[in-house]
Amino acid sequence: MILKDINQIRSFIAIYQTRSLTLAAKKMGMSKAAMAKRLSVLEAEMGYSLFRRSTRKIVPTPEADRIFVEAQRLIDHVHEFEAAFGKDEAMKGLIRVTCSITMAQDFFAKVLNNFQAKYPEVIIELVATDSMLDMVENNIDLAIRVNPAVNSVQQGRKIGLHRVVMVASPEYLKKNKKIKVLDDLKNQRVLFTNSHGDYHFKNNKIKIKTFTRPRDFLTTDPGVLTRVALDGMSISVRPWWNVKDYIDKNQLELVLKNEMILPQGDVWLLSSVGKMQTHRVRILFDELVEVLKPYFE
């Protein structure tokens, strides 16, 4: 196949990502009919169908899955080529990143906005989700992941550890001064998620829930436990990245800081292979490696 128009590839990528001619057309700033015609021309040139169509959805064929990664790489190289003609152009355009909902709310949105303050023509799309999105299929440039599975289409760098700590407000600790050893927790209101209750203390390898009385408050929103601690109503077991900024502002304090809870894995900053070739993604990646370290130390 001889590529006659790079916009054919851009259109293919838009259809693949949206699974919709209507949405792809809107994304490309053209009519649905024009988008359908462009797809038909591309399929004719390829010699096979790229999508299975029905009245309700469009499903990529195996050939489309195979082509998508290379098509995305081609577009990234085109962007880089275009940027080479002007220094400022390299720091324009969209970067899609993803992390957990709580990370997005606690610190990552702030970090990304600080980056945009330096590069105001960079557009950031933050996909906050607790689902492990496929980075290629969802066109994700960068992702923060805990213990990521090995994947041939991903590359990245370890930025720290996923660890949890016990925290309480200064007001709570003033009222409850007799918290010197782990056994003292049995007389305190200690709140944690189900998974955190099974984490172990480093010194004795005993689970957190062994040293605490039965919980009287449970929630499906873990961020609520941070709020309860800030309000002076409990000791809460929370990820370090969730409470670091509050500790820096003296709104929360570490409880039994010498009783370390075993870290629960490594935290990585990942990039899709090929995505790191764009200048703006590379600059953001390098900055995040440094800026995020205090949240995962």
What value does the mean pLDDT take over residues 3-16? 84
Q: Are residues 170 and 234 in the same domain?
A: yes
Model confidence at 83: pLDDT above 80? no
Q: Considering the domain boundaries, does residue 40 fall inside one?
A: yes
Q: Are residues 138 and 275 in the same domain?
A: yes
Residue range 25-45, pLDDT digits in tens: 888 888 889 898 989 988 888
Q: Are residues 96 and 39 in the same domain?
A: no
pLDDT, residue 7, reads: 84
CATH number for 32: 1.10.10.10
Output the pTM of the full model. Answer: 0.65
Q: Considering the domain boundaries, does residue 170 fall inside one?
A: yes
What value does the mean pLDDT take over residues 51-79? 84
Q: Are residues 130 and 277 in the same domain?
A: yes
Model confidence at 269: pLDDT above 70? yes
Q: Considering the domain boundaries, does residue 174 fall inside one?
A: yes
What value does the mean pLDDT take over residues 75-103? 76
Model confidence at 225: pLDDT above 90? yes
pLDDT, residue 274, reads: 47
Q: Are residues 195 and 152 in the same domain?
A: no
Domain span holding position 60 = 6-69
Q: Are residues 152 and 270 in the same domain?
A: yes
Instruction: Please tell me the total count of domains within the chain.
Output: 3
281 confidence band (pLDDT: 50, 70, 90): confident
SS3 for the chain, per residue?
CCCCCHHHHHHHHHHHHHCCHHHHHHHHCCCHHHHHHHHHHHHHHHCCCCEEECCCCEEECHHHHHHHHHHHHHHHHHHHHHHCCCHHHHHCEEEEEEECHHHHHHHHHHHHHHHHHHCCCEEEEEEECCCCCCCCCCCCCEEEEECCCCCCCEEEEEEEECCEEEEECHHHHHHCCCCCCHHHHHHCCEECCHHHHCCEECCCCCEHHHHCCCCCCCCCCCHHHHHHHHCCCCEEEEEHHHHHHHHHCCCCEECCCCCCECCCCEEEEEEECCHHHCHHHHHHHHHHHHHCHHHHC
Model confidence at 86: pLDDT above 60? no
Q: Considering the domain boundaries, does residue 204 fall inside one?
A: yes
8 confidence band (pLDDT: 50, 70, 90): confident
152 confidence band (pLDDT: 50, 70, 90): very low
CATH number for 223: 3.40.190.10
Q: Which of 13-22, 78-87, 122-131, 237-246 has the lowest mean pLDDT?
A: 78-87
